[in-house]
Structure 1
Amino acid sequence: MFTGSYVALVTPMFDNGDIDYQSLEKLVQFHIEQGTHGIVSVGTTGESATLPFDEHVKVVKETVAMASGAIPIIAGSGANSTAEAIFLTEQIGRLGVDGFLSVVPYYNKPQQKGMIAHFNAVADASDLPVILYNVPGRTVADMLPETVAELANHKSIVGLKDATGDIGRLKATQPLVPSDFVILSGDDESSSEFLCEGGHGVISVTANIVPNAIAKMCEASLAGDFAQCRAINDTIKKLHSTLFIEPNPVMPKWALYKMAKMESAAMRLPMVLPELTSQKEIEELLQEYALISG
């Protein structure tokens, strides 16, 4: 369950901030055609923090309809308020999604016991599987391996997206959780090593741009071909770093816009378009990868 390459899908928008559903459908079909193993809809890369509840739910609903069962859909349902996360989980759970991705509450800086209470309450709100998401670089709070192990006792909590970028964290978590507990990389730069050390897949930002390469990298790792996994990663590793020279999702949105996958690179304030130097850097790299013409 939930192994392989899952894309942390951006949410396309027009310059006035409205959701661009036509471009969203184009992206969904792009991932189906390119072999992506699953989509995360309205996760943090999908700008969940700035989509109101009704819009958040509608984007997930439309993504499920667009995929039409061809590819699993995991929905972001996290919030820094437990009541809000429960509400989103309940609403989205009726839409035909395959599971949820729930981020550590941001800004509040909850204690480990608070995280346990929060995620257990969220998981109780639906019978669908929940993947925990630890990204201390964005949330400030860091969910420790022992906390993950405690939460893995809940019947609906089936996995973890680890975006610490620390392979040592993976090794510390593995012996504490059941063998069928899925551990996914949420850090593209360290993802190939994460896979080779026993990770089960990725939830990737880079997969927005080169979905087939990320899918093949995961497939190689899951087949035990770690040399091939690393070789594929070597061909795209420049993207991993360049896509994060400005805060996510600024750069992937600009790249997809230049690749003609979206009508606009617009995003919700307080996020704005990349600096001209950043635009030039990613465009030169896209040309190098033959993803856009010169």
Structure 2
Amino acid sequence: MQLSGSICALATPFTADGALDLEACARLIDYQLAGGTQALVVAGSTGEAHMLTESEWGRLLAFALEHVRGRVPVLAGTGAAATAASVQQTRRAQALGADAALVVTPYYVRPTQQGLLRHFTEVAEHGGLPVVMYNVPSRSGCDLLPETAARLAGHANIIGLKEARGDAARIAAVAPLAQPGFAVLSGDDASAHDAMLAGMQGVISVVNNLVPAAMRALCDAALRADRAAVEQHAAGLAPLIRALECAPNPIAVKAGLAALGICHAGLRLPLIELEPGAARVRLVHSLAALTPVASAA
């Protein structure tokens, strides 16, 4: 499997009383597929994976897989702080039928580079699924360095890297790792266009939840190296991407999905809904500029 293009880090819808909302999940998946999204991540950080019970995690993934019916690859978020727990969750995802596992660097425990090497190797060799590594130091507290990622890229069952550091130096260091059988994907919406022009093969995107067609157009332009079109699409998306930065992810995404009528804006504590005010107004206005549905909401 070679991942590329526009990949959505799906939000997980909840009802007004906090229950898992699978009907809204179906609406969100349909919206993504209609907009040209090329793969989906279920129960990642945007999907509030750590707010889900084990039962909910399984129900959500099983439902998504059944609803997608193989139309695009489905990646399950299976990363944990402990390697054994990540292996076990990856095996669960395999049993449910996921196509691959998105495995975040172990959070809070701050492993060494050698520890990260062994961690990802263990998950790749014993989890039963192809592995996409996920580096997001701002959340995990550790950084998978490019030289470590390069060593892991040679493993037959490690098929990609989601790199959420969007600085130019990191993009330049990891983009050359892309090769047949190993995809390097941006995990930062604001710099994704630069990353793809530098050689990355796609983006696992947050803003994709709200504007899948616009993100697909950006990815298509970037992957064919049409710089003029890339600049045009990136400029159009920039206000919405900036608006989403008003609160920790996925708070603003949920507010945007509510404005689109896809799901309730609710999250689970300690995350709380985006409060009324200037930030919400900017979010709705920037979303309305990109989608007629939001304009009518």
TM-score range, shorter chain: over 0.9
Tell me the SS of whatever aligns to 2:155.
coil
Structure 1 residues 37-186: aligned runs within 5 Å: 37-175=38-176, 178=179, 180-186=181-187
Distance, in Å, in 2 between the alignment partners of 1:14 and 1:128 is 31
User: What stretches of structure 1 of length at least 5 have no aligned partner?
Assistant: none
Shift of 1:37: 0.6
Q: Which residue is 1:273 aligned to? A: 273
Q: Which secondary structure state, in structure 2, belongs to the residue aligned with residue 10 of structure 1?
A: coil
Distance 1:175 1:216, change over 3 A: closer
CA change 1:128–1:115 in 2 (3 A) is same
User: C-alpha separation between the residues in 1 aligned to 2:205 and 2:47?
Assistant: 12
Residue by residue, what CA displacement relative to the aligned partner does 1:195-223 show, whole Å, maximum 9, x if unpaired?
11111000000101110111111112222
How far apart are the structure 1 equivalents of 2:9 and 2:231? Answer: 21
Tell me the amino acid that sits aligned with residue 131 of structure 2.
V
Q: How many angstroms apart in 1 are the aligned matches of 2:204 and 2:177?
A: 22
How many angstroms does 1:230 deviate by?
Answer: 2.2
The residue type paired with residue 269 of structure 2 is L
Report the CA distance shift for 1:4/1:254 in structure 2 as closer, same or farther (over 3 A). Answer: same
Gapped regions of structure 2 (runs ≥ 5): none
Among 286, 292, 295, the residue aligned to 1:292: 295
Q: Is residue 152–residue 178 contact of structure 1 (8 Å, CA) maintained in 2? A: no
Range that drifts further, 174-183 or 279-288: 174-183
RMSD value over aligned CA atoms?
A: 1.5
Give the Cα separation in 2 of the matches to 1:59 and 1:138.
Answer: 23
Q: Which amino acid aligns with 2:213?
A: N
More moved, 177-186 vs 4-13: 177-186
Q: Which one is further off, 216-225 or 16-25? A: 216-225
How many Å separate the matches in 1 of 2:174 and 2:224?
Answer: 22
Q: In the aligned structure 2, how far is the partner of 1:83 from the partner of 1:158?
A: 20
What's the offset of the Cα at 1:114? 1.0
Shift in Å at residue 177 of structure 1? 6.2
Residues 1:259 and 2:260 are matched in the alignment: yes
CA distance in 2, matches of 1:177, 1:204: 18
**Percent same amino acid among aligned pairs?**
36
Partner Cα distance (2:102, 2:240) in 1? 24
Distance, in Å, in 2 between the alignment partners of 1:91 and 1:180 is 24
Q: What is the CA–CA distance in structure 1 between the aligned matches of 2:137 and 2:75, rounded to whole Å?
A: 21
User: Within 2, Cα distance between the matches of 1:288 and 1:29?
Assistant: 21
1:54: how far off? 2.0
* Structure 1 residue aligned with 2:17: 16
Cα gap change, 1:11 to 1:176, in 2 (>3 Å): closer
Offset, 1:128:
2.5
Please tell me the residue identity of whatever aligns with 1:55. E
Q: Per-residue deviation at 1:10?
A: 0.1
Structure 1 residue aligned with 2:225: 224
Rounded to whole Å, the distance in 1 between the matches of 2:178 and 2:261 is 42
3-state DSSP class of the match of 2:98? coil
The one-letter code of the counterpart of 1:265 is A
TM-score for the superposition, normalised by structure 2: 0.94
1:64 is displaced (CA, Å) by 0.5
